[in-house]
Amino acid sequence: MRTGGSKAFFIHTFGCQMNQADSGIITAILQQEGYSAAESEVDAGIILLNTCAVRENAVDRIEHYLQHLHGLKKRHKGLIVGLAGCVPQFQKEEMFSMFPVIDFLAGPDTYRTLPLLIEQARIGLRSSSLDFNPLETYEGIDPVRQGPLSAFVPVMRGCNNMCAFCVVPFTRGRERSHPLSSVISEVRQLVESGYREITLLGQNVNSYCEPEKGTDFATLLDAVSREAPDARIRFTTSHPKDISEALVRVIADRPNICNHIHLPVQSGSSKMLGLMNRGHTIEEYRQKIALIREKIPGVAITTDIIAGFCGEEESDHQATLDLLTDVRFDLAYMFYYSERPGTLAARTLEDDLPESLKKRRLQEIIDLQNSISDKLYQEAVGTVVEVLAESESRRSAQQLMGRTDTNRVVVFDREHYKAGDLLKVRITSSTSATLIGKPDQRADAAS
């Protein structure tokens, strides 16, 4: 038997913040049934992978991991392995024949059945629970949090968009919003427990629509920021077609809502945006950026880019590079296109670019964006920024790391500060992803 016993479980979480939040829900459900969270994989009698299917290499990583678990299970008879999240929802029972090591499959809407799936696995039954439940928001479950400072609060699940490249609508099902009252009571609880940062989560938060009164996201965000006036409020992800003037106004007006918007553009070419079914042109995107920058001075805008989508020509690629140069995003998550079976693109478009070309274009995008981030970060040298200290820096016990309200990572001398402190830091140097500095007491006193 493994050291933690047969009721000890360990979750490996892959993928987006939504999956991280779901792992907290899974932990709570299992703990309620008498299971306990193991410190590490070696202590666990049950290993759960909470998986992501968004790109082929994400799925490859999980398959690789399953091979490792196969070896582990040979040495530890009785070890139970479960696959949760987007991969089983997408590939269904096929996973059982591909990977004999798997004991059960659970989709994002069926986590309440996990204790049953585990019990069935114990008596040798391989079961799956993959139905969508458009009503499931895990109301009434108090998720177990990762740390004492920063918490995710999902406000909606699923996605009703059909971006041509994207598997999420098929893995997460129809969009549903959490009741405003339950979001607010979760936020209140977090405030009472001393949380300093709350991130509202959804695949497309701007389409939040309160199930009873139809309240929109701008109203919800405003209410959350008033409920937690001493905490930093963040949210992700915003779809450019749905970001409203009312939302921009709320961010500008409420001091504790962070001046950061993640606004995935995917491509700088209207032709590509059309093929991707994003529902807006690049001119409309640029207008939204102009509006955001006008109303929220100092705002940081970050984005996602896909290189080499179906039918992308050199001129479309150039349009993406031009957009990056013009907008100067603070940061971008950059990928090359990976066809996902069953998506709109897989059904209707030809994945016609060779991988070498996709990778070349991606590299050009990465090189350009890195040089832009580099310059933006250099421009911050000499300024004083407000930082929420999060943890010890990875490089030195004498330093802490934290973030600005624009979500930039700052590493600074520890002095007498500790995680959870909000302080002013004078920036003395930078790299393309980190600002480095020293606490600035004069600025502290002046604020």
Query: Which parts of this chain interact with ligand SAH (CB under 6 A)?
Result: 54-55, 165-166, 168, 203-204, 237, 239, 264, 266, 304, 306, 335, 337-338, 340
Contacts of 80 (CB under 8 A, 6+ apart): 45, 46, 47, 103, 104, 118, 121, 122
Kindly state the smallest distance separating residue 203's Cβ from ligand SF4, in Å.
Answer: 4
User: What is the rounded distance in angstroms from the CA atom of residue 60 to the CA atom of residue 62?
Assistant: 5
Q: Is 37:144 a contact under the CB 8 Å cutoff?
A: yes
Check residue 143 and report its DSSP letter.
P
Strands (E), 123-207: 127-129, 150-154, 156-157, 176-177, 197-201
Options 16-24, 255-263, 275-283, 419-427: segment touching ligand F3S (CB under 6 A): 16-24
Q: How far is CA 99 from CA 69, 103, 297, 335, 363, in A?
A: 10, 9, 52, 28, 34
- Per partner kind, with CB cut-offs from 5 to 8 A, the member of ligand F3S, ligand SF4, ligand SAH, none near residue 19 is ligand F3S
Rounded to a whole number of angstroms, the minimum distance from the CB of residue 252 to ligand F3S is 29
Helix (H) or strand (E) holding 73: helix 56-75
| Nearer to ligand SF4 (CB atom), residue 211 or residue 333 | 333
86 binds, among ligand F3S, ligand SAH, ligand SF4, none (CB under 5 to 8 A by kind): ligand F3S
Say if residues 426 and 445 touch (Cβ distance below 8 Å): no
Q: Does 265 bind ligand SF4 (CB under 6 A)?
A: no
Residue 58 makes contact with ligand SF4 by CB under 6 A: no
Tell me how far, at minimum, the Cβ of 27 lies from ligand SAH, in Å: 23
CB of 417 to ligand SF4, least distance (A): 37
Q: Could you say which residues in the range 127-166 bind ligand SF4, by CB under 6 A? A: 159, 161, 163, 166
**Positions in 162-181 near ligand F3S (CB under 6 A):** 167-168, 171-172
Number of residues that bind ligand SF4 (CB under 6 A): 9
Q: Which of 303, 235, 306 is CA-nearest to residue 277?
A: 306
262 binds ligand SF4 (CB under 6 A): no
Tell whether residue 19 is a contact of ligand F3S (CB under 6 A).
yes
Torsion angle of C-alpha atoms 120, 126, 127, 128, degrees rounded to 10? 140
When asked if residue 53 is in the footprint of ligand SF4 (CB under 6 A), the reply is: no
The whole-angstrom separation of Cα 369 and Cα 372 is 5
Q: Residue 214: is it exposed, middle or buried by C-beta count within 10 angstroms (0-12/13-18/19+)?
A: exposed
- Contacting ligand F3S within 73-112 (CB under 6 A): 85-86
Q: Are 301 and 333 in contact (CB under 8 A)?
A: no
The single-letter code of the amino acid at 311 is G
CB of 191 to ligand F3S, least distance (A): 27
Task: List interacting residues with ligand SF4 (CB under 6 A).
Answer: 159, 161, 163, 166, 168-169, 203-204, 239
Q: What residues line the site for ligand F3S (CB under 6 A)?
A: 15-16, 18-19, 52-54, 85-86, 167-168, 171-172
